Every structure is written in C-alpha cells, then in structure tokens.
Amino acid sequence: MRIMKRFSKNHPNLKNLEILCLCLVSLANIKVLFIIFIKRNVVYYMHRIVEVYLVDIIMSLIPNVPIQLKKLLSIIYLR
C-alpha cells in the first residue's frame, strides 16, 4: 500500500535535498515506513506498511540511496 501526499512547500531548510528523513515505527508486528523526500521544492511523504526488512524496501523504492544512509538505516533497524 502506497500513499503519497504533499506535506509542506518551500521550507528553507529543505532546499537541495532529495531525501530528508527515513523513519521506522514498529507497532506490534507491523512495521510502518515513512519516506520523506523533496521534489521541486515540495515535500512529500510516502507511507507503506511492510513486513520485510527496512533496507530491502528502501532499495526497491529508491535505488540510488547513498551508502551512508543505508548504513544508518541498518543501525536504526537493528535497535
């Protein structure tokens, strides 16, 4: 399930960024993934309920994620 919505426009701290934040929220056995990214100075967030590993989903949704971000996500997922 994917839902993409507009979150905010022209925020000064968000310029020149493609991916702002990746946040994993675990509720029981359901993992909710919020992907916040910027396209044409508009902030969007993508919401997807998943039951598989976080890094695999990110790699499938955004194939050009930087390596440092993948490492950070792995650390977040393991906590």
Nearest to 37 by CA among 70, 4, 63: 4
**Global confidence as pTM:** 0.20
Query: What string of pLDDT tens digits covers the 79 residues of the chain?
Result: 343 444 444 444 443 333 334 433 343 334 444 444 445 444 444 444 433 345 555 555 555 656 656 556 555 544 3
pLDDT at 9: 46
Grouping H, G, I as helix, E, B as strand and the rest as coil, residue 70 is helix
Closest CA relative to residue 6, chosen from 30, 39, 54, 53: 39
Q: Which residue, among 11, 70, 2, has the nearest Cα to 33 in the 3D structure?
A: 2
